[in-house]
Amino acid sequence: MTTKRFFAGFLLVSLVLAGLVSYYASSSPDGLEKVASDKGISAKEKDHSLKDSPLGDYGVKGVDDARLSGGLAGVIGVAAVLAVGGGLFWVVRRRGPAAPATPAAGAASGTPAPASEPSQNAS
């Protein structure tokens, strides 16, 4: 499988999970929430400062259909996380041609990066 095709498939899976499958997720409180309310940890819980945000509680404000609202919120979330995360990782990444797994450290003489941390790339 080509890398491009794999990436496209991986993204598609995430979009389907967040956009379609999420509708069928359990709506029971999760472990923390349940324990917190059972034991009284949540007595002083405060409302989220952004609880009225347009995507609050994983729904799109103004969209009444629950399936559509939640699905849209999921798709927007996947896109937002991909944009912010992908952008961050692209900035942080090691520059130069991709040469994974093969510990050819030092061989790529053109890489200006590892000057401060010599040979750590080898691991």
Partner 1 sequence: MKDVHVPDGFIDAPVSIAAGAVAVAGVAVALRGARRELDDRTAPLAGLTAAFVFAAQMLNFPVASGTSGHLLGGTLAAILVGPYTGILCVSVVLLMQGLLFADGGLTALGVNITNMALVTVAVGYGLFRLLLRVLPRTRASVAGASFAAAVVSVPAAAVSFTLIYALGGTTDISLGKVAGAMIGVHVLIGIGEAVITAVTVSSVLAVRPDLVYGARGLIKPLELRTGAPVRPAGDAGPAEPSRA
Residues from 15 through 44 that contact partner 1 (CB under 8 A): 15, 17-18, 21-22, 25-36, 38-44
Q: Based on CB atoms, which residue is closest to partner 1, 64 or 97?
A: 97
**Own/partner pairs, 42-46, CB within 8 angstroms, 24+ separation:** none
Q: Based on CB atoms, which residue is closest to partner 1, 109 or 123?
A: 123
Cα distance between residue 89 and residue 79, in whole Å: 15
57 binds partner 1 (CB under 8 A): yes
Q: What does the per-residue mask of binding to partner 1 show for 58-97, with x meaning CB under 8 A? A: x--------------xx-xxxxxxx-xxxxxxx-xxx-xx
Cα distance between residue 71 and residue 56, in whole Å: 13
Cα distance between residue 108 and residue 123, in whole Å: 15
